[in-house]
Amino acid sequence: MTVIAVLGAGKIGEALLGGLLQGGRGAEELLFTERHPERAAELTARYGIAGVEVAEAAKRADVLVVAVKPQDIEPVLAELAPLVGPGSLVVSLCAGLPTSLYERRLPEGVPVVRVMPNTPMVVGEAMSAVSPGRHATAGHVALVKEMLATVGQVVEVPESQQDAVTALSGSGPAYFFFLVEAMIDAGILLGLPRAVAEKLIIQSAVGAAKMLADTDEHPVILREAVTSPAGTTINAIRELEKHGVRAALLAAIEAARDRSVQLGKAHE
CA–CA distance, 217 with 213 (Å, rounded to integer): 8
Distance from C-alpha of 218 to C-alpha of 235, rounded to nearest angstrom: 21
Q: Strands 89-92, 112-116: parallel, antiparallel or unpaired by DSSP? A: parallel
Between helix 194-215 and helix 172-189 the angle, nearest 10°, is 140
Q: How far is CA 11 from the centre of its chain?
A: 10
Nearest residue to 1 (alpha-carbon basis) of 24, 17, 18, 22: 24
Whether 68 has a binding-site annotation, put simply, is yes
Distance from first CA to last CA of the chain, Å, rounded?
A: 36
In angstroms, rounded to a whole number, what is the distance separating the alpha carbons of residues 180 and 120?
A: 16
Kindly report the backbone phi and psi dihedral angles of residue 100, in degrees, each rounded to the nearest multiple of 5, phi listed first.
-65, -30
SS3 218: coil
Count of H-run helices and E-run strands, the chain:
12, 8
Alpha carbons 9 and 62: distance in angstroms, whole number: 18
- The reply, when asked if residue 70 is annotated as ligand binding, is yes
Give 49's DSSP letter.
P
Per the annotation, binding residues for NADP(+) are 67-70
Per the annotation, binding residues are 67-70
